Chains A and B, each alone.
Chain A
Amino acid sequence: MNFDFSDEQKQMRDEARKFLSEQCPPKAVREVLDGKAPYDKALWKGLAEMGFLGVAIPEQFGGAGAGHLELCVIAEEMGRALAPVPFSSTVYLAAEAILIAGSDAQKQKWLPKIAAGEAIGTLALFEGKGNPSPKAIKVTANGGVLNGVKKPVSDGAIADFAVVAARTGSSGRESDISLFIVDLKAGGVEVKSLTNIDLTRGQAEFSFKDAKAEPLGAVGEGWSVITQVLDRAAVLTAFEQVGGADRALEMGRDYALDRIAFGRPIGSFQAVKHMLADMYVSATLARSNCYYGAWALSTNAGELPEAAAAARISATQAFQHCAKNNIQVHGGMGFTWEFDCHMYYRRANAAALGLGSLSYWEDALIDRMRKKNAA
């Protein structure tokens, strides 16, 4: 049994960590946090040069053709560093949707640009509050144009193109939903930035007014593609969340070792030790669930839907748990703008929602386990 990443993959993780620790220190994250830039352009360019943006994109489409296990280790490091770049929307959502459903021409058009850092993509799915559901989609597609409003859209304000879920039928079934690619620079889309709890990753609103749209995949198969994309993105995002959780745990541990109160390091008090031990437990359970998700993703196993939901739930819980208790360990200083704790807290809570909230994934997990049980 070899339920672990290979030495080469671990080496790639080390490279990514080194690169990000140099190119994406907390100071760089704060540039975006403080609103000085919408995202870190230099870092985005650097990630392209390192080959990280196209690591799972086949070579024929300009990528490195490595695979999803490699993408998982990079995702973990991106989460650890809180990289303020549109990595998840471009790589886990837009590129995956095109890889799953795109024609050869569409792949040729967009994937090389993604790999080269020349195109930022996203997925426009949500329309106001609520979790992913075909019923919630009201944006219409008629005669090659879209009309309606999507929000929130991750990284929407900086995206060059979007994969958009729209309604092409009215039967009340999943087959009413189809996917489209919209070139956001081609007109017909009004883009508005929205304030959100994670100031290092933007959210936006798209208003489509007869926006030109090109079908992605067959008409009526949009929802099935969305489900696959969300499962794949759930695993990759879970690695980001585990990276963030581990870093928050480390920050709390380090502070507990250094901070003296009542004449001793606060890490010698059991109340603090046990809080940190519980954070380690959450992070470890999440990591193990993520490894299973990575295996399922990389082998395209039938277990992927269940594994993705488990990884998503476990990693969401772990990151939220570690981020909030990291602040608690830090005490008052943890609640200042100056300390980095809040950046992890913000990311943890925003990441918990972006692909559908916990209740959505809990429901999905039980459905999928029942299906397996019945089979």
Chain B
Amino acid sequence: MNFDDTPQEAAFRAEAKAWIAANAPKQYEDELRKASLGRVALKGANILEVAKAWQKKKADAGWACLHWPKEYGGRGSSPIERVIWQQEEGPFGRLSSMFIIGHGMCGPTMMAFAGEEQKRKYLPPLASGEKIWCQLFSEPAGGSDVAGLRTRAEKHGDEWVINGQKIWTSGAHYSDYGILLTRTDPTVPKHKGLTMFFLDMKSPGVEVRPIKQASGASDFNEVYFTDVRIPDSQRLGNVNDGWNVSLTTLMNERMSIGAGVATGFPELFDFCNSLMLEDGPAIENRAVRSKLANWAVKASGLKYTSMRAISALSKGERPGPENSIGKLVAGSMIQDVATYALDLQGAAGALSGIEDAEVAGKFQAMLLRAPGTRVEGGTDEIMRNIIAERVLGLPGDIRVDKDVPFNKIPTKGRA
């Protein structure tokens, strides 16, 4: 048992480290390092431009989408090399947030289902960040139950005509392309009437409207489709086989094992180390210590769970199912941590202005953003179902709409 690199890993790490040291946009390092949950913002610079420039630089030197084949803009690296890169990229990796969906979900779906010519055309600019992609799956009527989506695609000659609405689409407002899951046959059970496409987000009839979130920020969008035309050549997979295509997308969700998940614990520990309560330093208060210890072991548990997964990759094995706990644990933990950090401040904990609030309002921002982390990318409840079914082997839910034609499924809970 050890934490050491193999000689090959060490050589790769040294190469990555040297290249990053010579090329990374160091002027932003401090700001990137301090950014915690939520949006990364840079003072006096356009984050999108900085991110695109860094991605392009990486791509030109062969450091973009490391695990993709070279002909599609990647490096052909092993999974462990990808993890090492993420570790070395450190805070600069935060500049990749707008590429995550494209690189982690759209790219792999294109790789599996697009034609060779399309792959050579679309994947390299996706890898280099010159084009940004989004994923258009969720709808008002289909969140956790994504197969309940209602956006229609109807065939007219060699084209499909799309009408409907998507929601929670991250980055739609700056995306160039998207992958789109639609309903092509409402007369069959819901999973059997879906079809996947990719489209140009600048197509006529596509309208992107930002959603103002509960936190006040806008990371997501609604996307409306009104008679949007997509050529049949941009269909991914067979007609009515979109559910299986979407499973490929979802299985390729970014493996965050190299980067680690945010729990809020390091911030809280530092805060308690400096905070004075009426009867002395917070860190010496018994109740505070008990809370901290409980979160400390969750944070370390997640960290060493990642290390176990990385070790599996290092040996060329598939990581075990244990990595599936990360999002579930971290999501509610960051919410609890933020709540407690405010509680420790009494009435002043409610202040969130950068000048008035402790730690520049970081915990207040964390608190307001946290509900979203427990919902996006699979709610806590869906994550528990996944663990129960795929890891523990418990039966799937009984699906009352499994054999019902989609257009016969009730649409309202109460009449």
Determine the residue in chain A with the shortest Cβ distance to B9. A1
**List of B residues within 8 angstroms of A273 by Cβ:** 384-385, 388-389, 392, 394
**List of A residues within 8 angstroms of B4 by Cβ:** 1-2
Determine whether the beta carbon of A265 is less than 8 Å from that of B395.
yes
**List of A residues within 8 angstroms of B126 by Cβ:** none
Determine whether the beta carbon of B305 is less than 8 Å from that of A69.
no
Tell whether A365 pairs with B297 under 8 Å between CB atoms, given A1-B310, A3-B311.
yes
**List of B residues within 8 angstroms of A359 by Cβ:** 286, 290
Partner of B384, one of A2, A256, A277: A277
**List of A residues within 8 angstroms of B388 by Cβ:** 267, 273-274, 276-277, 280
Determine whether the beta carbon of A268 is less than 8 Å from that of B328.
no
B398 CB to closest chain A CB (Å) equals 6
A274 to B315, CA, bound (A): 32
Tell whether B214 is near chain A: CB-to-CB under 8 Å: no
A309 to B297, CA, bound (A): 9
Partner of A270, one of B283, B304, B311, B397: B397
Determine whether the beta carbon of B311 is less than 8 Å from that of A2.
yes
Determine whether the beta carbon of A285 is less than 8 Å from that of B329.
yes
A359 to B287, CA, bound (A): 10
- Residues 261-281 of chain A: 1 if any B CB is under 8 Å from the residue's CB, otherwise 0? 000110110101110111011
Tell whether B151 is near chain A: CB-to-CB under 8 Å: no
B78 CB to closest chain A CB (Å) equals 13
Tell me the chain B residues, 341-399 only, with Cβ under 8 Å from chain A: 381, 383-385, 387-389, 391-398
**List of B residues within 8 angstroms of A366 by Cβ:** 283, 289, 292-293, 296
Tell whether A370 is near chain B: CB-to-CB under 8 Å: yes
A1 to B396, CA, bound (A): 36
Closest 10 CB pairs of A and B: A285-B301, A362-B293, A273-B388, A288-B304, A277-B384, A268-B395, A277-B387, A314-B297, A267-B394, A288-B305
A361 to B289, CA, bound (A): 10
Tell whether A270 pairs with B289 under 8 Å between CB atoms, given A3-B310, A289-B297, A289-B300.
no
Given contacts A1-B5, A3-B308, A274-B388, 11 further A-B contacts (CB under 8 A): A2-B2, A273-B385, A276-B388, A277-B383, A281-B329, A288-B301, A292-B300, A298-B1, A314-B300, A362-B293, A366-B289
- Residues 145-157 of chain B: 1 if any A CB is under 8 Å from the residue's CB, otherwise 0? 0000000000000
Chain A residues with a Cβ under 8 A of chain B = 1-6, 69, 249, 253, 256-257, 264-265, 267-268, 270, 272-274, 276-278, 280-281, 284-289, 291-292, 294-295, 298, 309-310, 313-314, 317, 359, 361-363, 365-366, 369-370, 373
Number of residues from B at the complex interface, CB < 8 A: 50
Tell whether B170 is near chain A: CB-to-CB under 8 Å: no
Can you sample 25 A-B contacts with CB below 8 Å? A1-B4, A2-B314, A3-B2, A3-B308, A257-B393, A265-B395, A270-B397, A272-B394, A273-B384, A274-B385, A281-B328, A281-B387, A284-B301, A284-B325, A288-B300, A288-B307, A289-B304, A291-B308, A295-B3, A313-B297, A314-B301, A359-B286, A365-B293, A366-B283, A369-B269
* Most chain A Cβ neighbours within 10 Å, of B273, B301, B303: B301
Tell whether B322 is near chain A: CB-to-CB under 8 Å: yes
A61 CB to closest chain B CB (Å) equals 24
**List of A residues within 8 angstroms of B5 by Cβ:** 1
A9 CB to closest chain B CB (Å) equals 8
